[in-house]
Amino acid sequence: MPINKQVNKKGVKKKRISEAVKRNKEIPFLLTGAIVIIFLFIYISVNAYRQHQGVKSEEQQIAQQKASGSAITQGKENLMPETVKARLQLESINNTDVLKVIPEGSEKKDSAITYTYKWIKNDEPVGGNTDSISGFKKGDKIEVKITPFDGKKYGQPRTLSTEIMKTTPKIIENKEIIFDGNVLSHKVKAIDPDNGTLSYSLIEAPKDMTIDKTNGMINWQVKPDEFGVFNIRVKISNDQGGETVYQLNINLNKAEGEPKKDATILPQ
């Protein structure tokens, strides 16, 4: 083979090898670029997806809040009637001790709450469906179950209990009055069911009237120009804290031509 041909063949071969090496060097750059492009595509796609989900999540939260608000509103409308608080109060009505329930309920729109009552004294049912009872004495144990009612549904019952630690003094009627035209005297009579010590005081009375705090004797130095009906209120207390207020009306009357005034206790 001629030498020139051999040289040409070797040159072509070297050129091919050089081009191949050059191509092999370019491949990593191409792969790297492709990978970068793929990662960018994935990043953009994921970010867009997250933003979409974020908007959707906010919408869902708003919808849930609205639904929750609606549920709360409906829940309020459907709330059972409730006795928020209640207490027992000892009173003296018409010279009789009365234990009364003072309840407070959760009022609902367009519906007032009423109550049913079940009383127990010393483990025995007593009284009726009323907010008060009487006929008890010191040492009695009283219990009452209160159930609220809104006209449609009954709520959870609430129970109050107490032991009677005190009773109130009882008035003994006394119409006797002594009046000589100048000084008027009248004795307020009362007893204590628990045999306690009683004390007397004036709540409302004419200026010159006094009362003995230990025996209830009223004395009044009547002025010449005092006529008419005078309202007097006396508080009788025992040493256990029980109290009764006694009211009497005294009429001072002087008939025309009579030398002195006349005094009477008017009926209540």
State whether 129 and 205 are in the same domain: no
Q: Which has more pLDDT, 61 or 252?
A: 252
Which structural domain range is residue 38 located in?
1-78
Of these ranges, 44-48, 80-84, 147-151, 239-243, the one predicted with the greatest mean pLDDT is: 147-151
State whether 131 and 217 are in the same domain: no
Q: Look at residue 85 in the predicted model and tell me its pLDDT.
A: 85
State whether the Cα torsion 103-107-112-117 is positive or negative: negative
What pLDDT digit, counting tens, does each position of 229-238 carry?
Answer: 999 999 999 8
State whether 212 and 252 are in the same domain: yes
Q: How many CB atoms lie within 10 A of CB 232?
A: 21
CATH number of the domain encompassing residue 226: 2.60.40.10
Q: Look at residue 75 in the predicted model and tell me its pLDDT.
A: 47
- Provide the pLDDT confidence category of residue 51 given band limits of 50, 70 and 90: low
What pLDDT digit, counting tens, does each position of 58-99 carry?
Answer: 455 445 544 444 333 344 555 788 888 889 988 887 788 899
Q: Look at residue 9 in the predicted model and tell me its pLDDT.
A: 54
Final residue of a structural domain among 78, 112, 135: 78
DSSP 8-class letter at 86: E
State whether 41 and 110 are in the same domain: no
Q: Look at residue 2 in the predicted model and tell me its pLDDT.
A: 52
Final residue of a structural domain among 117, 147, 163: 163
What pLDDT digit, counting tens, does each position of 113-143 carry?
Answer: 899 999 999 999 998 899 999 999 889 999 9
Q: What total number of domains does the chain contain?
A: 3
State whether 259 and 242 are in the same domain: yes
State whether 116 and 147 are in the same domain: yes
d(CA 10, CA 12): 5
d(CA 152, CA 2): 122
Q: How far is CA 50 from CA 38, 40, 43, 65, in A?
A: 18, 15, 11, 22
State whether 195 and 209 are in the same domain: yes
State whether 90 and 57 are in the same domain: no
Q: Which has more pLDDT, 40 or 160?
A: 160
- Provide the pLDDT confidence category of residue 7 given band limits of 50, 70 and 90: very low
Whether 211 and 187 have beta carbons less than 8 Å apart is answered as no
What pLDDT digit, counting tens, does each position of 172-221 carry?
Answer: 999 999 998 899 999 999 999 888 899 999 999 999 999 999 999 999 99
State whether 51 and 20 are in the same domain: yes
Q: Look at residue 103 in the predicted model and tell me its pLDDT.
A: 85
Final residue of a structural domain among 78, 104, 130: 78
Mean pLDDT of the chain: 79
Q: Look at residue 40 in the predicted model and tell me its pLDDT.
A: 73
pTM, to two decimals: 0.54
Across 41-60, average pLDDT: 61
Strand order in the sheet with 83-93: 83-93, 96-105, 132-133
State whether 119 and 61 are in the same domain: no
State whether 96 and 144 are in the same domain: yes
State whether 144 and 228 are in the same domain: no
